[in-house]
A and B are shown apart, each in its own frame.
Chain A
Amino acid sequence: MAGDDGLGLRSHRSIYEEICQGARLDGEKVPSENRVEAVVDLLSEVETACPVPTNLVSSLICALEEAQTKADRRTHEVVRASSAHVMEMTSIDIPQQTAGEGLQETVVETGYRDSIRPSIETGSLLRVVWAEARFMPLTFVLVESLVLIAGLLVNRYVTGFSRPDASWPFGLNIWSYVMTASLDASTLLAPLLGLMAVMFSLASSNGSSWADLEEMSVWPRSVRLLVRTLVTSLVPLLGTVGLSIVDVVSGYPVTGRSVLLLLVARTAPLFLTVSWALFWALRFGWIGAMTSTSVLWLAQFAAASGRGIPRLLIVPKTPGEAASQYVAIGISLGLLAWIAGRQPYRSRTGGGLMKGIGGRP
């Protein structure tokens, strides 16, 4: 064909001449040669171009979504790289959900939850005990120790078991007082020491944010309070037990008494105070603890001065006289068991709601 470029395509010149001839015959305006050349070039490109895929739009959307997902995943990985711990995620298919259906839900009714008990694992409870013991403020331990020692010394000085030693200033041989002070007097300090331990344990449970954070424990508040109170009671308890053993070994002033009787008699008032105060604190807060303890120990002091009445504050000399001590231990164990089994949820009737749990934020 005339004007063919040898590749099967006509040159723009031959096409232009043909267009001019046709335009003259039809009486129409002749286009410029440059315009014809541009159109011819465009047509030649179209003939050699790849066909447009039919799924262009959907492919493009998929590609964009994939790019977005990759970008999200990179962001996610950056976040996880800086995170504190590695989670093991189980990837599952998302079930098709409609309103009110879908994943298996656990719907429980309120009102009977106070009968629900978490399973008890000794190991996890020990972790709570360890946390309480580890972070027990030293100042509180120091104050407890000082109260115990000072109380014994005052009692020792008042009862005047030994004569003043002139070799010490003001005749006060402190060492002599400490060594010869009767631990029987620790029963007189039990109300104060026990109440101190309970009040300190209650201190952070006053409905504050910290109480909320502690409440997020898997253990009920009553159990945590019990653990903390027992930890805070350790100083007077161990002090009494340890010094009682020293008493027995030194033979003064407990001659004739068995170690068991001595330990029961000297620790029973402390056990009773702690469990009694905690029991009432869980019902009426710190006011309940203070009031109930005061009433109990006023009654005990009154009994101690009477004759023929079981006297908890007087350390007996024979097992036959220790009935009140054994009863006190029994009551304490009963109260502690009640506290340990208590759940801090209120029932449907609204009773038994513990402070710091249902308070208005």
Chain B
Amino acid sequence: MIILEDVNVTYPGRPAIQALRGVNLKIPPGVTLVKGRSGAGKSTLLRVLATLIIPDSGKVGYPWDDAWSWDRRSLRARIGYVPEKGVAGISLTVEDSLHYLAGTRALPPGTVQISRLVQRWQLDAFKHEKLDRLSAGEMRRWLLAQSQLVEPDLWILDEPCKDLDISGLSILKAELMEYSWKSRHGEWRMGGRYAIASCHDDRLDDVADTVIYLEQGSPSAILCSSAPR
């Protein structure tokens, strides 16, 4: 279980914006959807979980033994992150950019099979295309593909359905169902596997195990599904 205790995040400025207000959450393994209006703090919550933002105060707990003291190396080796916005100004091709990110993440050679990743997300036809020239939907697929360079125990997806077509959505749902399936059947790594996604619409509702509603930086409701799917 991932635990957040009294987490506060404030963005500096005039006026300062308090994005998360004393968030207390226990997130179980499986698929969790984070919902709420724009500005409710969804992206900030996901960035906190992805260790991209360190809260001003509060505690964040992860269920893996080797994450003790937040050893960033071991923790980030478990995280796959999909940002909300696509990348811009990068002249690398789809394939080269995946190789590059695998290198910057210091992934041992041979552990990442870029070609299969490209194939899985149906990027074969664009693998020699520069990122700048991808359509919004293709960019979303690439963002999803790069997030699986590591086999994420914690898969964080910020608006993954945005610009995604039907076939892309099917792949995404199949991947998410795997997280859900394993959490339900106990077939997980030590500590469990988590997919946490923010979503404005209801396209991922049918694969969610837990739904968290955020309102003005705080959880307003949490729904847990216990029915077998």
Contacts and interface: CB of A to CB of B under 8 A. Distances in A.
A binds B: yes
A91 interface: yes
Interface string B52-63: 111111111111
Contacts of B70: 108, 113, 116
B120 A135 contact: no
Contacts of B109: 127
Contacts of A131: 99-100, 102-104
B60 A108 contact: yes
Contacts of B105: 216-218
A212 B187 CA distance: 31
A131 B107 CA distance: 11
Interface stretch (A42-50, A68-76, A155-163, A175-183): A68-76
Interface string A112-130: 0100101101001101101
Nearest to A78: B174
Nearest to A121: B106
B57, B64, B175, B187 interface centre (most CB from chain A within 10 Å): B187
A358 to B, nearest CB: 6
A108 B61 CA distance: 6
Contacts of A215: 52
A297 interface: no
Nearest to B80: A216
A106 B44 contact: no
Given A104-B65, A357-B53, A116 B103 contact: no
A91 B26 contact: no
A209 B87 contact: yes
B15 interface: no
Contacts of B86: 209
B146 interface: yes
A91 B81 contact: no
Contact of B17 (A90, A106, A345, A360): A360
Interface stretch (A2-10, A93-101, A303-311): A93-101
A25 B90 CA distance: 104
Interface in A277-331: none
A106 B85 CA distance: 31
Interface in A207-230: 208-210, 212-220, 224
Contact of A361 (B44, B58, B143): B44
A232 to B, nearest CB: 15
Interface string B170-206: 0000110110011001111111100000000000000
A110 B62 CA distance: 13
Contacts of B89: 203-204, 208, 210
Interface of A is mostly: loop
A217 B87 contact: no
Contacts of B23: none
Contact-residue bracket for chain B: 35 or more
B129 to A, nearest CB: 16
Interface string A246-279: 0000000000000000000000000000000000
B72 A116 contact: yes
A107 interface: yes
A68, A91, A106, A358 interface centre (most CB from chain B within 10 Å): A106
A130 B99 CA distance: 11
B26 A89 contact: no
Nearest to B11: A360
B104 A84 contact: no
B20 to A, nearest CB: 12
Nearest to A129: B103
Contacts of B177: 75-76, 79
Contacts of B32: none
B81 A216 contact: yes
Contacts of B165: none
A280 B5 CA distance: 36
Contacts of A104: 63, 65, 191
Contact of B1 (A84, A102, A110): A102
B26 A99 contact: yes
B180 to A, nearest CB: 10
B8 to A, nearest CB: 10
Contacts of B135: none
A76 B188 contact: no
B116 interface: yes
B60 A110 contact: yes
A101 B83 CA distance: 31
17 contacts: A72-B185, A82-B120, A85-B151, A105-B61, A105-B63, A108-B69, A110-B60, A118-B71, A118-B72, A119-B73, A127-B103, A135-B96, A208-B85, A209-B86, A218-B73, A345-B54, A360-B44
Interface of A: 65, 68-69, 72, 75-76, 79-80, 82-85, 87, 89-94, 97, 99-100, 102-111, 113, 116, 118-119, 121, 124-125, 127-128, 130-132, 134-135, 137, 203-204, 208-210, 212-220, 224, 345-346, 348, 350, 357-358, 360-361
Given A209-B85, A361-B158, 7 more contacts: A85-B111, A107-B59, A128-B103, A131-B99, A134-B100, A216-B52, A219-B104
Interface of B: 1, 3, 5, 11-12, 17, 19, 26, 43-44, 47, 50, 52-65, 67-73, 76-77, 79, 81, 83-92, 96, 99-109, 111-113, 116-117, 119-120, 143, 146, 148, 151, 158, 174-175, 177-178, 181-182, 185-192, 228-229
Q: Nearest 5 pairs between A and B by C-beta? A: A131-B103, A84-B116, A124-B106, A107-B61, A118-B73
